[in-house]
Structure 1
């Protein structure tokens, strides 16, 4: 048993208290009890110290020792994180399974990263050079898809006095030695540690001018997110949150994926693991796992570790961002994280806020989403962290506190609709209640790289969909027969937009992911059909006559009929629409 003056006084689930003053500091990593459970100091006053334990506290007794470390709660950052799965405090679950089976043994101590594996290291600096924090000193091919870049810790600068020869080394080997101005010698290894609750240092936050292209039409062309942006996917059970995150993870134009399963069901996380292992990265042809980090904290794991998992994931993402990579975080779901905050707050006997959530819920959500951004790093590379957080409001009620507070801090809101999901319309994003505030920021990029009429077409589409929504309310009351043909045409063309553009099959060979230029062309064709049909209506043609033509169904089926690598085929559809128009004019000339 460890001899220490710091002993457990009270136990309340994952919350441990020590009576009297201690020499611990806030956010210090501590080991609790004879089993040395991992904990973190979360409260200090002259009468007591409060500790949050990240493991199961069953069996703990008052009087057991608590050992300090003089270190903050931190994660190890280095090669070996990709194609790996960790729990909420970055313990490697594959290695834990070998030692303790299907359940995590209490007090188990394993290094987050493999200390014995040899990596091929290529230094990119020389003796005598002066380096600053964040500068890249060596490269390691972590997977076939990603080159890992070993960096100088942000708080270190000086002259390089020793560099290893290119070759194979473990992450524990010293790769570079740096002499600081004060004469101290700093040894740089293949990995570093960083506190999970502290954002990593950058030079500057850049404007959001690059879209995160996902291959999903309703995102890229309707409610886009910028690289370095933040988006929320709220939706009730069965509306497709996880499938949507899978699609984004697989097809988004991003270098690294960090998937955080926060408080989700065990069988759902198993499905994620199995699916991600099978997914083939369309960019490299290798497994998608080769550029993915998975963090799994299922609903039966300790609640405190669930609270920490979000910070573990964002810290790993920031580390890869500092190398110059674009990183996307899938947090599924932030509602379970908020529930962990609520449980811990209740055990701490804090004054509850709305629906029992702690009063600081809003600031915690803000602190998480604010760590997203497109940044200029210390090494003058540009990298981004984009956060896509799923929200699981009970009963699909978007007025509950987690959804409402999330809306305050994200600029992209993809509201999933249970009625659309029940109608098998996927992605089930409601185009009336969803929004993106990145449109103006990205308009120049779309005009330059996609189509100069892109924003005009987008705005026209949204006007049509909103008019359809209003007209459907009238149709429910008095039927569609009373509507003039111009409004009946709006209903008809909106149906083409919904079925042919907004609806997308996640398992279809062609339609699962669509290049942005094809998206823009599809929308332009639909609006051209509307323009020509309007002209016929103005000549007195009834909508019933127009819909007898097969042209509407033909435009809907573009998404299945035109391969993504044969976009020149799209030009023929303009000719088909003109032929439809000319035939109508000739028959009734």
Structure 2
């Protein structure tokens, strides 16, 4: 949105009415979606409805103490973020204010009205111009003007902002520049000259453009077996982690942030408890990226908006994170954005709509909840950028249904939109089975696409083994109900061995501790080795049972206990040791077969 003319900008308006974070102002020339400053404190807000010169504004800070009649001023642009070098490694609030700098000025609590730019104005960056560009070259949106080494891990590409195209008349030479310095000039078709800088602003509610959308082709490897091996997520996909309080949603998202093979990680804490976000802010700077050996924060940025911060800033925080994710996608990077949680975001929508007097529908949520959720998730995807090749945004949102009720509006609407659903189970969490992702109710629409990668990079049997394991787990659920009713004595040896095989998969493959130094991350090769080991034992045991070997002889094998523990004994570089264990168990099974055959021949 362009700035209003000077006469309009110099006309200050005033506050008419205050209703919590909703403020009605009188301001000539105001536009829908524009940012405003409210009151003597200069509180930041956004116009959400307009009736002539009377505008309804949602403020991102508490309005306590603000009075009608105080001044209101439009800033001339919508809620926007600054996009340029210096984002990575940063910690921002829900409207992109740098929290570390705010702490230096304001202490532990953000002083109302405090406004700081998202990017450091003083720091200089070494700019390397694109050697293929020069005066007279035609450039357009997304053209790479040059590069800046933002961190040791990430090369930051300086892009022509969307909406600009024309002739490049000047490009700065190699050198150190602050982000507000001019590094080039562009003359558009109308003959107007535009300054090009290391950064630009972009409205957060408007998706950034791209050349075309593509299908995902490779899975997001998270190092978590139940996700990668059973319910895979493609890069550029849409996923959700629903679960009741205490089921481990935040830990699942933190594990994905820590161990995924994405090139950029954006973690948005939206309305969650402060102690959980403090844990993130304290631990992430200490973590090492397993793919580069560098600090994880070199490819990570955090947006922190805790539950005690103003509720409407939660709604903005999701869009702020998405816009920054799209910006790095436009550089050709694979980005994963984790939103914890979209339920708190939806609650912010509900509160604002209630204050506006809008008609509530399901459980008080506004009628547009489903369309807003869909619009957010649809900003994920794998795309062909204008000048940087393919890039992707993978969006994974946590959902916190009250009482674990997956039929409530936010969860049910989310389930209709996303492609991967990792449903957390309170029963599994109570049994200390983590991650508590329920293999019965979870699903992935990406299995066949992910299978191409697994078959090429790991083992061609992956999809068949996955299908066999899920079938065995489903059979286990049926047999467990029988055992609960009449006891295990009612089962045949074959059925009891099915329960044993399912137990090997649950304990030896699906269960994975985030606190185990060896098992917190599991490579795809180790994942398949563990799955194949458990299923091979089941297959060989079933063959012996069909020959008449009592199931008790197999259950008494001491190697079975080692199978359950080997995930924590051998790291991802010791896959051959898992294979050796398989051979050892195979020899033990063969010894049982020979002994049983000998007994029968003697008889």
TM-score > 0.5 by shorter chain: yes
Q: Pick one of 10, 23, 34 that aligns with 1:16.
A: 23
Q: Pick one of 73, 85, 88 that aligns with 2:79.
A: 73
- Once residues 185 and 419 of structure 1 are traced to their aligned partners in structure 2, the CA distance between those partners, rounded to angstroms, is 63
* Residues 284 and 296 in structure 2, CA contact (< 8 A), matched pair in contact too: yes
Q: Pick one of 37, 50, 55 that aligns with 2:56.
A: 50
1:548 is aligned to 2:567: no
Question: Aligned with 2:247: secondary structure?
Answer: coil
* Residues 411 and 437 in structure 1, CA contact (< 8 A), matched pair in contact too: yes
* Residues 3 and 65 in structure 1, CA contact (< 8 A), matched pair in contact too: no
- Once residues 360 and 255 of structure 1 are traced to their aligned partners in structure 2, the CA distance between those partners, rounded to angstroms, is 34
Question: Aligned with 1:451: secondary structure?
Answer: coil
Tell me what 2:530 maps to.
522
- Once residues 178 and 3 of structure 1 are traced to their aligned partners in structure 2, the CA distance between those partners, rounded to angstroms, is 30
CA deviation after TM superposition for structure 1 residue 557, in Å: 2.5
Tell me what 1:557 maps to.
565
1:85 is aligned to 2:91: yes
Q: Pick one of 252, 276, 281 that aligns with 1:244.
A: 252
- Once residues 285 and 586 of structure 2 are traced to their aligned partners in structure 1, the CA distance between those partners, rounded to angstroms, is 47
Matches within 5 A, 1:390-401: 390-401=398-409
* Residues 32 and 50 in structure 2, CA contact (< 8 A), matched pair in contact too: yes
- Once residues 509 and 10 of structure 1 are traced to their aligned partners in structure 2, the CA distance between those partners, rounded to angstroms, is 56
* Residues 212 and 254 in structure 1, CA contact (< 8 A), matched pair in contact too: yes
- Once residues 48 and 302 of structure 2 are traced to their aligned partners in structure 1, the CA distance between those partners, rounded to angstroms, is 26
CA deviation after TM superposition for structure 1 residue 495, in Å: 0.3
* Residues 295 and 309 in structure 1, CA contact (< 8 A), matched pair in contact too: yes
Tell me what 2:484 maps to.
476
CA deviation after TM superposition for structure 1 residue 566, in Å: 2.8
Question: Aligned with 2:186: secondary structure?
Answer: strand
CA deviation after TM superposition for structure 1 residue 46, in Å: 4.3
Q: Pick one of 309, 319, 328 that aligns with 2:327.
A: 319
Measured against aligned partners, the alpha-carbon deviations of 1:108-166 in whole angstroms (never above 9, x if no partner) come to: 12111101101111111333322221011111111111111110012112222211121
Question: Aligned with 1:31: secondary structure?
Answer: strand
1:300 is aligned to 2:308: yes
Q: 1:184 to 1:73 in 2, by over 3 A?
A: same
Tell me what 2:458 maps to.
450
Tell me what 2:601 maps to.
none
- Once residues 383 and 214 of structure 2 are traced to their aligned partners in structure 1, the CA distance between those partners, rounded to angstroms, is 5
1:585 is aligned to 2:593: yes
CA deviation after TM superposition for structure 1 residue 22, in Å: 4.2
CA deviation after TM superposition for structure 1 residue 440, in Å: 2.1
- My pick for the range that moved more, 544-553 or 384-393, is 544-553
1:7 is aligned to 2:14: yes
CA deviation after TM superposition for structure 1 residue 350, in Å: 0.7
CA RMSD of aligned residues (A): 1.5
Question: Aligned with 2:15: secondary structure?
Answer: coil
Question: Aligned with 2:488: secondary structure?
Answer: coil
Tell me what 1:275 maps to.
283
CA deviation after TM superposition for structure 1 residue 402, in Å: 1.1
Q: Pick one of 236, 243, 247 that aligns with 1:228.
A: 236
1:152 is aligned to 2:160: yes
Matches within 5 A, 1:44-443: 44-46=50-52, 48-124=54-130, 125-443=133-451
Q: Pick one of 494, 498, 505 that aligns with 2:513.
A: 505
- Once residues 5 and 79 of structure 1 are traced to their aligned partners in structure 2, the CA distance between those partners, rounded to angstroms, is 34
- Once residues 538 and 397 of structure 2 are traced to their aligned partners in structure 1, the CA distance between those partners, rounded to angstroms, is 36
* Residues 426 and 503 in structure 1, CA contact (< 8 A), matched pair in contact too: yes
Measured against aligned partners, the alpha-carbon deviations of 1:429-486 in whole angstroms (never above 9, x if no partner) come to: 1111111111122222222222111111110000000000011001100111111111
User: Normalising to structure 2: TM-score of the pair?
Assistant: 0.95
Question: Aligned with 1:52: secondary structure?
Answer: strand
- Once residues 508 and 95 of structure 1 are traced to their aligned partners in structure 2, the CA distance between those partners, rounded to angstroms, is 35
Question: Aligned with 2:226: secondary structure?
Answer: helix
Aligned length: 587
- My pick for the range that moved more, 564-573 or 258-267, is 564-573
* Residues 534 and 563 in structure 2, CA contact (< 8 A), matched pair in contact too: yes
* Residues 522 and 571 in structure 2, CA contact (< 8 A), matched pair in contact too: no
Question: Aligned with 1:7: secondary structure?
Answer: strand
Q: Which runs of 5+ in 1 are unaligned?
A: none
CA deviation after TM superposition for structure 1 residue 388, in Å: 1.1
Q: 1:269 to 1:561 in 2, by over 3 A?
A: closer
Measured against aligned partners, the alpha-carbon deviations of 1:267-322 in whole angstroms (never above 9, x if no partner) come to: 22111100112212222333211111111111111111111000000000000110
Question: Aligned with 1:113: secondary structure?
Answer: coil
User: Normalising to structure 1: TM-score of the pair?
Assistant: 0.97
CA deviation after TM superposition for structure 1 residue 344, in Å: 0.7
Question: Aligned with 2:48: secondary structure?
Answer: strand
Question: Aligned with 2:279: secondary structure?
Answer: helix
* Residues 225 and 522 in structure 2, CA contact (< 8 A), matched pair in contact too: yes
CA deviation after TM superposition for structure 1 residue 107, in Å: 1.3
1:491 is aligned to 2:499: yes
- Once residues 573 and 126 of structure 1 are traced to their aligned partners in structure 2, the CA distance between those partners, rounded to angstroms, is 62
- My pick for the range that moved more, 24-33 or 531-540, is 24-33
Q: Pick one of 30, 34, 54 that aligns with 2:40.
A: 34
- Once residues 324 and 141 of structure 2 are traced to their aligned partners in structure 1, the CA distance between those partners, rounded to angstroms, is 18
- Once residues 437 and 383 of structure 1 are traced to their aligned partners in structure 2, the CA distance between those partners, rounded to angstroms, is 21
Measured against aligned partners, the alpha-carbon deviations of 1:401-443 in whole angstroms (never above 9, x if no partner) come to: 1111111111111111112112111111111111111112222
- Once residues 64 and 203 of structure 1 are traced to their aligned partners in structure 2, the CA distance between those partners, rounded to angstroms, is 46
* Residues 22 and 49 in structure 1, CA contact (< 8 A), matched pair in contact too: no
* Residues 6 and 66 in structure 1, CA contact (< 8 A), matched pair in contact too: yes
* Residues 255 and 514 in structure 2, CA contact (< 8 A), matched pair in contact too: yes
- Once residues 137 and 11 of structure 2 are traced to their aligned partners in structure 1, the CA distance between those partners, rounded to angstroms, is 46
Q: Which runs of 5+ in 2 are unaligned?
A: 1-8, 598-603
* Residues 33 and 47 in structure 2, CA contact (< 8 A), matched pair in contact too: yes
* Residues 19 and 355 in structure 2, CA contact (< 8 A), matched pair in contact too: yes
